[in-house]
């Protein structure tokens, strides 16, 4: 049986491995991004953001968020508080109920923070 050896082609590192960024992320930007990612790094919180975003006017009453996620009102409120502190949701009180609204541009801002090639 004859074996044919194929030439080994070395890739040009400059062509295939272009750096994602020209400089390292500064500490403040890394801290901001980590806090936002931590807030979203929970399946319940991701679902809450998506439910609020899909609601009419991108706003939902806490009473409408309890059943879809299957958690108690205090637990849902705790998750919503974390999302508010991270800047994804705002809250308004109407009578005894709290309404949560998606902060305009909050998810887009996160996308920009994740874009390591974005100009500074």
pLDDT above 80 for 112: no
pLDDT over 90, % of the chain: 53
Virtual torsion, Cα 60, 108, 110, 72, nearest 10 deg: 10
User: Mean pLDDT across the chain, nearest whole number?
Assistant: 83
Q: What is the pTM of this model?
A: 0.73
Q: What confidence category does residue 110 fall into, taking pLDDT thresholds of 50, 70 and 90?
A: confident
Could you please report the per-residue DSSP string of 29-52?
HHHHHHHHHHHHSSHHHHHHHHHH
Query: Could you tell me which residue, 88 or 112, shows the higher pLDDT?
Result: 88
Domain boundaries along the sequence of the chain: 28-108
Count of beta carbons in the 10 Å neighbourhood of residue 80: 22
pLDDT above 80 for 6: no
Count of beta carbons in the 10 Å neighbourhood of residue 38: 12
Q: What is the pLDDT of residue 68?
A: 95
Residues 66-87: tens digit of each pLDDT: 999 999 999 999 999 999 999 9
Q: What is the pLDDT of residue 74?
A: 95
Q: Which residues are bridge partners to 90 per DSSP? A: 101
Virtual torsion, Cα 37, 40, 42, 47, nearest 10 deg: -160
| CATH number among 1.10.10.10, 1.10.760.10, 1.10.3720.10, 3.40.1190.20, domain 28-108 | 1.10.10.10
Residues 33-58: tens digit of each pLDDT: 889 899 999 999 999 999 999 999 88
φ and ψ at residue 107, rounded to 5 degrees = -75, -35
């Amino acid at each position: 049986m004859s074996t044919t050896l194929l030439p080994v082609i070395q890739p040009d590192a400059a062509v295939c491995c272009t750096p994602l960024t020209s400089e390292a992320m500064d500490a403040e930007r890394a801290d901001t991004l980590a806090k936002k990612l931590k807030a979203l790094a929970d399946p319940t919180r991701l679902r809450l953001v998506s439910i609020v975003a899909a609601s009419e006017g991108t706003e939902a009453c806490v009473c409408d968020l309890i059943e879809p996620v299957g958690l108690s009102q205090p637990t849902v409120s705790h998750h919503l508080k974390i999302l508010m502190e991270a800047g994804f949701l705002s809250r308004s009180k109407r009578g005894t109920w709290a309404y949560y609204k998606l902060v305009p541009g909050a998810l887009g801002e996160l996308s920009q923070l994740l874009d390591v090639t974005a100009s500074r």
